[in-house]
A and B are shown apart, each in its own frame.
Chain A
Amino acid sequence: MALAWSLWGGVVPLWSQQQPVIESLSRQSHQTVYDAVYTLQPAISTLWEYDGYAYLKGGYTLSMGDYIQPQGISNLRKLHIASESVWQHPEKGWFLYGKVNYENGTSDGGIWNLAYELPTNGSPFYYMVGKSGSWKVQRYHFDVSVAKRLGKRFSLGASLLYHGNLYYRTVDSRNTSTNLDIRVTPSVAWHVSSKHTLALSATYERHRNESEISNKYQHDTDAKQYILYMNQGLGSWESEPNMFNKIERLYGGALSWSWRSTATSLDVIYRLRSGREAWKHKSYNNDASDGSDPAQYDLTHQELVARLENRRRTGRWLFLLQGSLLSGEGRVYKLTARSYLDNYTYRGFNTALRGFWYPKRGLLQSLDAEVRLETTQQDDISYGHSIYRADLVAGLGVDLSLVRRESWSGYCRVGGRYKSNLSADHTPKAAADNLYTLQIARPVLAYLTSDAAQVEAELGAEFRMGRKNRGEVLLTGALWKPVSYGLYREEARYALTDNYGSVMLQFVYSF
């Protein structure tokens, strides 16, 4: 810290909390900080150094293109409405945060994917069929957090997240996939001094998924694309599986240290979560099971977040460092042996450094840069099948003020990213001729190991409505385009002329 602070020399700590010219940009910046820092440690929300905000918004998103992960979803068309607010009462020490969100849309795709959202925790377990489908998508999100300062020394906080997804296919094979996630995070902070705060939180998360699969009866003229599988690794699967529920429970906590001065905010948070994703028989059957979970995936997720913000006369610097290390082990239960067979390991490392500069005056509203390193290693023990991949992503963005009038303001954002595959290694060994390797691993790697560029742009305008309220119109677009092929060029499901683009139109009422 001393070193960092000496490097930070020369700062004049007199940045005042003036309202930026473009308030929607300011809000987006505050949301970034809230999501990265305060969600992990609710009790330190009493240190929140920004103004509150509240808005109601609705929008429509359209995305399409052929440059997608082959198991992924394309042609997403969805409506969303959301409301979010931050309210604080510094004198009484209260901080309240609330967010509700609802999305409803349709999408297509999902070859070898009957789960819609493939696992993000490294787990190998999901249902799949060779046939793609059309999906209806509904998401419900509710997130609330509260923190209260108790005297000079302590703060208490807690957050509750409730998230529900409903995905269902509208053509064969059909799956009504229901997710219900909850997360509870109680937290306590000890204000060691006016500058130093130590905090501790505990976390309980439960993710539950239930699939109702109505598989199409295979006809003579159909290809074998309706056979239902439960994927269990990189080549291991169970065909025509029973129906299971998935329940993932994670327990953990976070430790943090925060440092505040007039000019500088620093937060360092370490969070550890560990638990098990268990697949349970939907209807317990004495003939089919001895009561053990058919499949288990144990995971440990470590995260390190650091935020450094400095406010100066000329503007504000913000740095966010986010790193995570996710490791997991999958196993399946063999009824004949009455024991679990370890079958799969996963290790994923992801670190990102983002820097933001928010000048106080002028055409330039913000300048941001990002560099991200992602590595994953997957191993199927039964087949000796391993996949390793390392990617580097670098991006730049700038927000520019176009119009600044008393009654309305306009701005634009332009940015871009470049994703470079640093290295990749695919060793299928005994799974070389396996269906998984041929149908999934190779086409997916052809996508994941490609280099690609993204450009993004946003046009925004905000209109003053009365003394405090504003109306905003935001039009956002992004386009990904492959630059070069990676592994298995001949099996790529895209061409270099393809792309994947999205457009979103949003209306926001800020109050």
Chain B
Amino acid sequence: MKKFVNGIIACVMIAAVSMGTGCQKESESALGSITVKVGVSEIFEGLDLSGISVKIVNTSDNSTLEAETQADGVAVFNEISPAIYNVSASLELPAEVAVNYTGTNQAVTLNGVATNVTLLPSGNQTVELVLDGKAGGSLVIKEIYSLGATKDDYAILFKDQFIEIYNNSDEVQYVDGLYLADLGPSADGSDPDKSAPLGLSLDEYVYAAKVLQFPGNGTDYPVEPGKSIVMALNAVNYKADKPDAVTVDNSTADFDTYAIDWLQEQGRTGNPALDVDNPQVPTMKCIYLNIQNNGCFNFASYGSVALFKLDSTPTETVLDPNSLSTQIYYLKMPVSGIIDGVDNLAATDAGAYKRLPSSVDAGFFCPKGYTGDNAAITGLNYSGNSIRRKVAKVLPDGRNVLSDTNNSTNDFEVVEAPTPRCYDLN
């Protein structure tokens, strides 16, 4: 009997262990590699191409890898997951170096970006980036608060939106007559299955769904260095109305919008539930709104914004090639007139949905995919979060110089709550 039991156990254990260890096998993998070849535009030829920081972002899981180029300007990323990547490189040239290439004694950040780089399973992909850049602008878009307020039953919705423009230079600037546009299309990359990218060239024009113009005759609305102006959808103190909501006091805004009278003049209807005029606050001039009725000048939650200086008001429109049952038209805005622009999209793999050319914004910002310090910030609709430009440095006089590398991926961050005028010099 004892022999029998021992025999059974021995046989079973031998079989089990042999089968069990046979279970472990060399794992399959589809890992691949991306080789990034970094070069520079003609004007910057001769720059040292070693040690340039190259970054790749896996748009599936937002993981980021960084590497520096070798002397030949090549950086290699090995054993990476097949996915869609955004690839970028940047090189900061201090003023004393930049002057040798640009002739202007001003620091320049060179950027090169390639979005939606597809790495197939077990594939090897080569990406060529050409770094280029120009000195940062004087007026920059400092904050876009478009996601809407949270809490208090979402009663405020997005009525508390504002756009803030900051004077990043050491000279007084004027916003008189500048144009502010919410760019189309509304497709923001959040659901590629249901909405396609616009499919129009961004070389000469961008396409605006809504356009406003600052009032003034040239010198009526100065912006001092280190100061900003706030353009609110509605100049209302929403904090007073809904103290529990994460919202903002817009009653001190410099400008507001009001579209109802303008729409009615054209036989169209406005939206009094969303559009409130504060007579104490100067109102932006209504230029273009591509919603026939019940519209107002709210900005899309994940909308791209651009500031223009133009000699005349554009009038030419273009039909959205993807519009089907409802025809959607955009106002063609010349790229050459853009002072600053921020591409703001809803997904990290939404590079195909960019509304601004790379010459204006080399990358794009995705609030939902932001992987900054504060993990609690979601960048979701009605989260009360806001999109804010980072500070590059603080001058001895206390003036903040904001990051303006013409790449919003690097220049912007998500903050928990809107912070109008937070960088203003006292």
Contact of B31 among A223, A383, A434, A436 (CB under 8 A): A383
Q: How far is the CB of B171 from chain A (nearest CB, A)?
A: 37
Q: Is the CB of B24 within 8 A of A220?
A: no
- In the docked arrangement, what's the CA distance between A4 and B5, Å? 10
Q: Is the CB of B80 within 8 A of A430?
A: yes
Residue of B nearest to A226 (CB): B378
Q: Is the CB of B193 within 8 A of A288?
A: yes
Q: How far is the CB of B196 from chain A (nearest CB, A)?
A: 10
Q: How far is the CB of A215 from chain B (nearest CB, A)?
A: 11
Q: Is the CB of A224 within 8 A of B375?
A: yes
B72 within 8 A of A: no
A507 within 8 A of B: no
Q: Is the CB of A219 within 8 A of B61?
A: no
B175 within 8 A of A: no
Say which one of B9-17, B133-141, B309-317, B328-336 lies at the interface with A.
B9-17
Binding site secondary structure of chain A: mixed
Residue of B nearest to A430 (CB): B81
Q: Is the CB of B29 within 8 A of A381?
A: yes
Interface residues of A in 341-359 (CB under 8 A from B): 341, 345, 347-349, 351, 353, 355
Q: Is the CB of B417 within 8 A of A220?
A: yes
The interface residues of chain B lying within 8 Å CB-to-CB of A9 are 4
The interface residues of chain B lying within 8 Å CB-to-CB of A429 are 29, 31, 79
- In the docked arrangement, what's the CA distance between A289 and B193, Å? 8
Q: How far is the CB of A353 from chain B (nearest CB, A)?
A: 5
The interface residues of chain A lying within 8 Å CB-to-CB of B375 are 223-224
A168 within 8 A of B: no
Interface size class on chain A is 35 or more
Q: Is the CB of A430 within 8 A of B79?
A: yes
Q: How far is the CB of B150 from chain A (nearest CB, A)?
A: 5
B100 within 8 A of A: no
With a 10 A CB-CB cut-off, give which of A224, A425, A430, A436 has the most chain B CB atoms: A430
- In the docked arrangement, what's the CA distance between A321 and B11, Å? 11
A35 within 8 A of B: no
Interface residues of B in 359-383 (CB under 8 A from A): 375-378, 380, 382-383
- With an 8 Å Cβ cutoff, the count of chain B residues facing the other chain is 51
Given contacts A288-B193, A381-B121, A375 and B23 within 8 Å (CB-CB): yes
Count of chain A to chain B residue pairs whose CB atoms are closer than 8 Å in the complex: 142
B385 within 8 A of A: yes
Say which one of A24-32, A81-89, A384-392 lies at the interface with B.
A384-392
Q: How far is the CB of A302 from chain B (nearest CB, A)?
A: 11
Contact of A219 among B29, B151, B194 (CB under 8 A): B151
Q: How far is the CB of B116 from chain A (nearest CB, A)?
A: 11
Residue of A nearest to B32 (CB): A430
Q: Is the CB of A382 within 8 A of B82?
A: yes
The interface residues of chain A lying within 8 Å CB-to-CB of B30 are 381-382, 384
- In the docked arrangement, what's the CA distance between A336 and B63, Å? 22
- In the docked arrangement, what's the CA distance between A347 and B17, Å? 15
Contact of A373 among B5, B17, B83, B380 (CB under 8 A): B17
The interface residues of chain A lying within 8 Å CB-to-CB of B385 are 220
The interface residues of chain B lying within 8 Å CB-to-CB of A388 are 23-24
Q: Is the CB of A237 within 8 A of B24?
A: no
Interface residues of A in 229-244 (CB under 8 A from B): 235-237
Q: Is the CB of B1 within 8 A of A10?
A: yes
The interface residues of chain A lying within 8 Å CB-to-CB of B29 are 379, 381, 383-384, 429
Q: Nearest 10 pairs between A and B by C-beta?
A: A384-B29, A7-B4, A386-B27, A351-B16, A379-B27, A375-B20, A220-B384, A430-B81, A375-B23, A288-B193
Other than the given A8-B4, A347-B25, A382-B81, 17 more pairs (CB < 8 A) read A4-B7, A7-B3, A8-B1, A219-B150, A219-B151, A224-B378, A235-B81, A347-B23, A349-B22, A351-B12, A351-B15, A375-B24, A377-B27, A379-B27, A384-B29, A390-B20, A434-B63
Q: Give 29 A-B contacts (CB < 8 Å), ordered by A residue.
A: A7-B4, A219-B384, A220-B385, A222-B378, A223-B375, A287-B194, A288-B191, A321-B12, A325-B19, A341-B121, A345-B28, A351-B16, A353-B9, A353-B12, A371-B9, A373-B17, A373-B20, A374-B20, A377-B23, A377-B25, A381-B30, A382-B83, A383-B31, A383-B81, A384-B27, A384-B30, A390-B20, A430-B31, A430-B79
